[in-house]
Amino acid sequence: MMPFQTHPHDPLPSLSAEQIARLQESIDTVGMGVWRDAVSPAFLDAARSFIGQQLDEHDHQYFSLHGERWLAASPLKAIAESTALRQTVDTLGKHVMAGRTIKMNMAASMRVLTGELGQRHSERYHYDSYVVTVLVPLIMPDVPGEPHGDLVLFPNLRGVPGSAMLNIVEKLCVENGLVRALWRQPRVQRWFGAKVMKMTPGNLYFFWGIRSLHANQACAVGRVRGTALFHFGDPHAGGVLKRLSGAHHRFKQQRLARRASVKIPTADL
């Protein structure tokens, strides 16, 4: 996709209405829209330096960052504040909500997989809470014969849940340990039309996170896989059920960390 124009200080080039429409059509039909060569090599260099510093602080083990503090201190802040990205996701949000208006609030996170804990945080199939997910690959292992940590996506498996209760029930049905083991099976993935996608740093990847079950495959223990994730538009934000669901998510993250005897930060998603 070729850039249309660029706003001063915006790391991303703006897209025309036609380009956003093509992105939207691709997400609807194949489950994923790709904005190619969206971020510059200089931006990737800065993001990788940030990841290197964070790895030093996390004993070179898996970590994830959530909330606003990490973002303010990271080069990813420029993506979060991008006018071009905001225009794009606002249009996509109106489309996926089919006339229902929601606030396109944003939650940004960073996930860096490496070591044994990185393996444990792989193939954990889930739906996001937000309608639009933008995945920004920053470091992807690319060694022949080794797993790259590809994204596995079951495109548009469900609609946008009409209530927080329905969302939680559906998530419990597909995200529990027993069923997760099934989603990992290549045969099950073929039955449900799952797509295995290699992520290329520089591109941005868009999908309907609340509609598409997804997870990353593991990469080799000694490699590093770093991504930033920008989620937009939680249709059930602010409710009691949502807070309970957030607490449950934090509990599961802490349990994973305890099993590996590694302390990891967690926060609301």
Stretch of 29-37, 127-135, 138-146, 233-241 lying at the interface with Fe ion (CB under 5 A):
127-135
Say if CB 26 and CB 32 are below 8 A apart: yes
| Residues whose CB is less than 8 angstroms from the CB of residue 194 and which lie 6 or more positions away in sequence, other chains included | 152, 153, 154, 155, 183, 188
Stretch of 95-103, 120-128, 160-168, 177-185 lying at the interface with Fe ion (CB under 5 A):
120-128
What secondary structure letter does DSSP report for 213? E
Token output for 3: 């850039």
Distance of closest approach, residue 42 Cβ to Fe ion, in angstroms: 28
Instruction: Report the chain's C-alpha Rg in angstroms.
Output: 18
- 15 or 210: CB nearest Fe ion: 210
Say if CB 34 and CB 26 are below 8 A apart: yes
- Give CA–CA dist 268/20, Å, rounded: 29
Among residues 50, 128, 171, 211, the one that binds Fe ion under rule CB under 5 A: 128
Distance of closest approach, residue 128 Cβ to Fe ion, in angstroms: 4
Question: Does 175 sit near Fe ion (CB under 5 A)?
Answer: no
Ranked by CB distance to Fe ion, the top (closest) residue is: 128
- 128 or 175: CB nearest Fe ion: 128
Distance of closest approach, residue 209 Cβ to Fe ion, in angstroms: 6
Distance of closest approach, residue 38 Cβ to Fe ion, in angstroms: 19
Distance of closest approach, residue 22 Cβ to Fe ion, in angstroms: 24
By CB neighbour count within 10 A (0-12 exposed, 13-18 middle, 19+ buried), where does 232 fall? buried
Binding stretches for Fe ion (CB under 5 A): 128
